[in-house]
Amino acid sequence: MPELPSDPIGRRLTSEWTFRQKAWRQLWYLVEATLFRFSPRPCYRWRNWLLRRFGARVHATARIRPTVTVEVPWNLTVGARTVVGDFVILYCLGETTLGDRVTVSQYAHLCAGTHDYTRADFPLLRLPIVIGDDAWVAADVFVGPGVAIGAGTVVGARSNVFGDLPAWKVCVGSPARAVKDRILEDTVPNDGAVVNR
């Protein structure tokens, strides 16, 4: 049987990553699969500390669940009082920034990388994702590369976000689009905490 060409359309066969980056990624995979994954749920500071050892900028008050998967942690920034739920995928090939008080619910997938399929060499594109303060990315949402979600915006469950979304809107669908304004009906108890968000 004749041998097939290894690259019939001329794609590059070399890695997009330096040796040092590949080594750090392998070490992170080991740490994530053990020390991070098997840490008890309330050990948020421990997981934040581990991520910071690999270059992530994670606020001390962030709450990242042990089942979260983080690819390339040195491209991750997580703000104050931000929560990242169970089984979220943070695929941080490009810079991925979660502002303050952001909620990323279970099974959401933030994908800050793709390939240029219009070129024969199929180069890797590391496009940033920015989630503004007080936004909520609900369960099972996919956020594509190069997307900015405005402050205060809610992205409804199972939506797919392929383009920027404006601030303080409720957005749903595939592709996600704004369907109404997000209006807060805050009540402020004696301790000053905002509820009904």
Query: pLDDT tens digits for 11-28?
Result: 555 678 899 999 999 999
**Residues sharing a CB contact under 8 Å with residue 167, sequence separation 6 or more, in sequence order:** 132, 150, 151, 152, 153
Question: What's the token pair of residue 151?
Answer: 């402050």
How far, in Å, CA of 163 to CA of 108, rounded? 16
Cα 95 from chain centre: 9
With beta carbons less than 8 A apart as the criterion, state whether 172 and 155 touch.
yes
pLDDT at 16: 82
pLDDT confidence of 94, banded at 50, 70, 90? very high
Secondary structure class of 164 (helix, strand, coil): coil
Class of domain 19-180: mainly beta
How far, in Å, CA of 129 to CA of 108, rounded? 13
With beta carbons less than 8 A apart as the criterion, state whether 106 and 88 touch.
yes
Tell me if the pTM is above 0.85: yes
